[in-house]
Structure 1
Amino acid sequence: MMTFLVWRLKHISDNNFILIVASVIGLTAGLAAVTLKSTVHYVQQLLQQNIDVTRINYLYIVYPVIGILLTVLVRKFVVRDTPGHGITRILRAISKSSSRIRKRYMMSNMLKSAITVGFGGSVGLEAPIVVTGSAIGSNFGQFVHLDYKKRTLLIGCGAAGAISAIFNSPIAGVIFAIEVILTEVKISKFIPILIASVSGQLVSIVLLGEDILFSFKLVDTFSARDTPWYILLGIASGMASLYFIRITYLVEGAVENIRNQYGRAIFGGLALALIIFVFPPIYGEGYESIKSLLQGNEVKFLSGSFFYGLADQELIVIGILLLVILAKPFATALTLGSGGSGGVFAPSLFMGGVTGFLFSRVVQFILPSSNISASNFTLVGMCGVMSGVLHAPLTAIFLIAEITSGYMLFVPLMLVSAISFTTISYFEKHSIYTKNLIEKGDLIQYDSDLIVLSLIDLKKIVEKDLLTIHPDAKLQELVGLVKKSKRNIFPVVNDRNELEGIVTLDHIREIMFDPEKQANVVVKTIMQKPPAYLNPQEKMQSVMNKFELTQAWNLPVIDNGKYLGFISKSRIFNAYRKKLIRQTKE
């Protein structure tokens, strides 16, 4: 390996090497996407061959429970990782782990999501395959000893290759990598991402041809007279996005409160199965259901449900569509919260498609002469809700434009995406991927100073060279410590290693040379309480806020009531300077 690295440094420039590596990562991510997609669809076909679309099917109650239980068992005994949102995990790795993603994520998410989605879990394959591609990029970068910035770039390459392959949409792959994964990237870094995205698409074309995850040929053109309706759809999409995010967090959090993982899996699986039993379109990713709506085939959309045969009842269909929209976030949250594996990419597209179709049906019902295109509103609704849920308006626009093989809907896509994003941004400042990370301080966007500051580990800069004194000690003993110490602060610590206060040279300067005071004054009578305390797990932004509020130069660090040491501003500034120099070099 070292021989290769030395040869590479002599014969291949860094820029050319990154281009070569980007193409390899794109090809590998594309192959992984094709493998996952083919596996899941094979499992779904195998399980659904016993389902009769003309009657109620009780197998819908069995499959999701089995899938989630199998996923939990595989997670515990095979891949041995922890549950969580995949893309959130990538963002955390970039922010807090120097873009190092564990090797097992190159395979674990594929295996778990294949089981979950194959057995009907109401989530998507996109996030797992993005995690796989990103993990491939990160580990390849580690293998050839690339620095943090280049590893991060390769993570974006893996993500772009994955999205490009699974949707046959290279532009959307590039924009997704830049808009969601790499929030700060220079124009010069576009080329490796472009190459990775094209490489992923080539694999998909060669191995799958037209059999991609989702595609649709436009049948209706855009009519400018429908613009007011698209504006209203943009607002509706933004509100649907808000509903999706709020319900997903609420339900997922409630399910995760069940301590026993098998009990949680059974409860979540049964609740999910009940929803799917009543609303079969929610089964799996839901792309086939969306295709039914795009074709105007409500009969197929309602197949296998209680409502089969009621497709000619317009008000009933409108009510069912509304209930499906309301139920979808519950199904997604139950799948993820109970132990299933998948992402919210597909659920947001599904919910957007149903929202757009429902909107068109309501308009047609109220104004029969409006004659608006149900397929166009379905596609644009997919763009609107995806834009709101992911906070990725450009990705949503180009994805729908590419999967429809044309740009005839570009104007309404831009309009609805922008309005939806603006609407949800009023209520939710962050995407479903970044919300928890930002609230916990694990991700900082668009502030280079705070980003560098967040890289400092508080536990590594605790100063433990301060000499401590017992609260019952006399001043004479403290004076003896003053002679030995190079510091002017003396923590007052009791027998249980608890900090009771501090004494500084300023506190004793006037009495420290008085023999009578030295013999009679007890330390606890002259100590003072620190203005604030720090915790070793505390975020650096909180630490700096405490220094700013107290105007102190040194603050003590307490862990579970026990004294650890002190943090000084000078030590923080020194650590910040070192991190900044390292970031600049990389």
Structure 2
Amino acid sequence: MLTGHSLLIKILDWREKHLSEKTFVFLLATAVGLLSGCGAFVLKRLISWVSHILTSHFRIGSGNYVLLLIPVAGIVLTGIFCRYVVKADLSDGTSRLIHDLKNKMYALKSYIVYSPILASTITLGFGGSAGSEGPIAYTGAAVGSNVARLFRLSPQMMMIMLGCGAGAGIAGIFKSPLGGALFTLEVLRMPMSTFSVLVLLVTSITAAMTAYLLSGCTVDIPFSHHAGFDIDTLPYVILLGIFCGFYSLYYSYMIKKVAKLLRCVGNSWIKNLIGGVMISALVFLFPPLYGEGYGTVGKIINDNFSTILNDSIFFGHSGGMWLLIFVAGGIALAKCVATSATNNGGGVSGNFAPSLFAGCIVGFFFAALLNEVFGLHLPVGEFAFYAMAGVMAGAIRAPLMAIFLTCEMGAAYSYFFPLVVTASVSFGIVRLFTADSFFSRHADRHNGLISIIKRHKMESAGGIQQQKGSD
């Protein structure tokens, strides 16, 4: 009788006789892409299903006080799942991958293949204000690592498969093949040869297409503007990039401050409760913060701005566009706090989707405010779309990934140029003030270009004074 072990031995023997290791890696990369794409699809559906069950009875025209309970329950349940079921800390998957790659720890545990999906479903389905990309990247990396270990690949090939699996997870969850590939290159910063980049592209394209086909060939945030970019708005797009850059500095600062606060809490139960209460309070005040927020984003970029007030205590109040601007400003200020409370209070989620959501709100706030104050006629929905790339580029410090991911998510290739401008300017503003990575634990240090120039001038002045003293 042929057992699983003996079948594996036969496959390995056949592979050694007929296929080179590199050719075999391409076949395994395709399999990892298929599995990661399926995992991304399943995670999206599970989150949507849980969220629908919990929110389908909400009243659109008033505040829903049950929001004060649902998110905190989700964080507590996630903490119970991690501590007592899988008995592992699954939070902040991207930071864990960066740590594992840096320390050459390529063999990930097999339970990571499924446990982040389940934990993230609880966190986000119950209203945690973050994204699903961190867990699915961790899952995809575990798929790649375990497939490589199963077929006894070398440590170097195992590293490539781990990185490709992580990129496949991002490609699948955003349906963005280039965004997934650039995640591995730009965020994980894996050293890659031409061969490994080709393997990464195969894996990412396979994952993105798998998720796209399983979801009925639909995109998450369809962008219905077809007129194309108006070059006359370019000066305002540059101003939007500057605004996104400064907001990104605030976003990153608050993310790390809240994380530092919650890390000071030693008791896991108390940490879950504090984080959950923070999320619940903010989600009750601003219901668009519930979950990943793609529904709100899709409506705003397609000019349905009233969605900002849905399910909230502000619904039905007079004030017109000024009320929308006021509420959008509050959401923009609160989003980073809610996201950090989710990720550091015991939730299992990611940071990329929150930066896209925050960018959409910031873009709406910027364009709507200029229109109201100066009587302009800026296309508010388009500016909200541009700012998604702007804030992601500045906050995550990954401009290329932000540009391609935003463009592919909305299938808006005719708007590639303003996305490039907004993301580049925003990233440049951030780099003027800090050179820190978003995934470093410390708060932003004074190590940006401006600080470097100031220190150089002070050192030069000190050297001149010393020289005069010696004369």
TM-score between the two structures when normalised by the length of structure 1 = 0.72
Distance 1:255 1:438 in 2: 18
**Equivalent position of 1:222 in the other structure:** 229
**Equivalent position of 1:309 in the other structure:** 316
Gaps of 5+ in 1: 440-586
| Residue identity (%) | 32
Distance 1:214 1:341 in 2: 23
Greater RCO between the two (CA within 8 Å, min separation 6)?
2
Distance 1:78 1:362 in 2: 49
Distance 2:427 2:318 in 1: 33
| 3-state SS, counterpart of residue 413 of structure 2 | coil
| 3-state SS, counterpart of residue 228 of structure 2 | coil
Q: How many matched pairs?
A: 438
Offset of residue 232 of structure 1: 1.1
Distance 2:45 2:218 in 1: 9
User: Which of the residues 404, 420, 430 maps onto 2:426?
Assistant: 420
| 3-state SS, counterpart of residue 292 of structure 2 | coil
The 5 A counterparts of 1:482-521 are none
Matched-pair contact (CA < 8 Å) for 1:102–1:135: yes
Matched-pair contact (CA < 8 Å) for 2:38–2:210: yes
**Equivalent position of 1:121 in the other structure:** 128
Change (3 A) 1:255 1:83: farther
Matched-pair contact (CA < 8 Å) for 1:348–1:382: yes
User: Which of the residues 235, 250, 261 maps onto 2:257?
Assistant: 250
Q: Which moved more, 1:40-49 or 1:399-408?
A: 399-408
Distance 2:105 2:280 in 1: 40
Offset of residue 318 of structure 1: 1.5
**Following superposition, which runs of at least 4 residues in structure 1 exceed 6 angstroms of deviation?**
none
RMSD (CA atoms): 1.9
The 5 A counterparts of 1:161-310 are 161-310=168-317
Offset of residue 434 of structure 1: 4.2
Q: What amino acid is the match of 2:382?
A: N
| 3-state SS, counterpart of residue 409 of structure 1 | helix
**Equivalent position of 1:7 in the other structure:** 14
Offset of residue 255 of structure 1: 1.7
Matched-pair contact (CA < 8 Å) for 1:238–1:419: yes
Offset of residue 62 of structure 1: 1.1
Matched-pair contact (CA < 8 Å) for 2:255–2:337: yes
**Equivalent position of 1:387 in the other structure:** 393
Distance 1:437 1:21 in 2: 40
Matched, 1:367 2:374: yes
Matched, 1:46 2:53: yes
Matched, 1:404 2:410: yes
**Equivalent position of 2:383 in the other structure:** 377
Distance 1:210 1:415 in 2: 29
Offset of residue 418 of structure 1: 0.9
Give CA-to-partner distance per residue, 1:328-347, whole Å, 9 cap, x none: 11111111222111011111
Distance 1:45 1:355 in 2: 27
Matched-pair contact (CA < 8 Å) for 1:265–1:339: yes
TM-score between the two structures when normalised by the length of structure 2 = 0.89
Q: Which moved more, 1:200-209 or 1:415-424?
A: 200-209
Q: What amino acid is the match of 1:366?
A: V
**Equivalent position of 2:67 in the other structure:** 60
Distance 1:376 1:186 in 2: 38
Higher Cα Rg: structure 1 or 2? Answer: 1
Give CA-to-partner distance per residue, 1:255-314, whole Å, 9 cap, x none: 222222112211221121111111111111111111221232232221111111247523
Offset of residue 203 of structure 1: 1.7
Give CA-to-partner distance per residue, 1:196-252, whole Å, 9 cap, x none: 112112321331114444332334421111111111111111111111111011112
| 3-state SS, counterpart of residue 121 of structure 1 | coil
Distance 2:365 2:193 in 1: 41
The 5 A counterparts of 1:17-96 are 17-96=24-103
Distance 1:437 1:139 in 2: 35
Q: Which moved more, 1:224-233 or 1:187-196?
A: 187-196
Distance 1:262 1:360 in 2: 42
Offset of residue 136 of structure 1: 0.7
Matched, 1:100 2:107: yes
**Equivalent position of 2:466 in the other structure:** none
Offset of residue 52 of structure 1: 0.8
**Equivalent position of 1:493 in the other structure:** none
Q: What amino acid is the match of 2:392?
A: M
Matched-pair contact (CA < 8 Å) for 1:218–1:404: no
Matched-pair contact (CA < 8 Å) for 2:359–2:388: yes
| 3-state SS, counterpart of residue 145 of structure 1 | coil
Gaps of 5+ in 2: 1-7, 446-471
